[in-house]
Amino acid sequence: MIKDILGMQFFEHLDKQHEAWHKSYSSIYKIFLEDKKRGVFGKLLDFGESKSMKMDKAKLYYSELQEETKELLKTADAAIRRVSALQESKFN
């Protein structure tokens, strides 16, 4: 139904932006979740990336996430405008 209302191309564009947003978000989440998954020996011996390297990575992903968020919000606003402009009969 929503594909019919928004149009297939517009919906696919919105969907791709949404998927990219989740990918960036999950990249940040994984960085911070990784520490919790390490075992006792890994924590004691502190193998892996340093905290500053992880923070640098997270900051990079965060800047990408900010841009993707802006684009996704623009597209969502356009979707709202598009739906608001439709006649009520389109929804019946």
Q: What is the pLDDT of residues 22-71, one digit of tens each?
A: 999 999 999 888 766 666 555 555 555 678 888 999 999 999 999 999 99
pLDDT on residue 89: 76
Residue 91 φ/ψ region, left for φ over 0, alpha for ψ in the -120 to 50 degree band, beta for the rest: alpha
Tell me what percent of the chain is helix, strand and coil, each rounded to the nearest 5. Answer: 85, 0, 15
Q: Looking at the predicted structure, is the pLDDT value of residue 3 above 70?
A: yes
- Residue 59's H or E segment, with its range, is helix 51-85
Domain ranges (residues) in the chain: 2-85
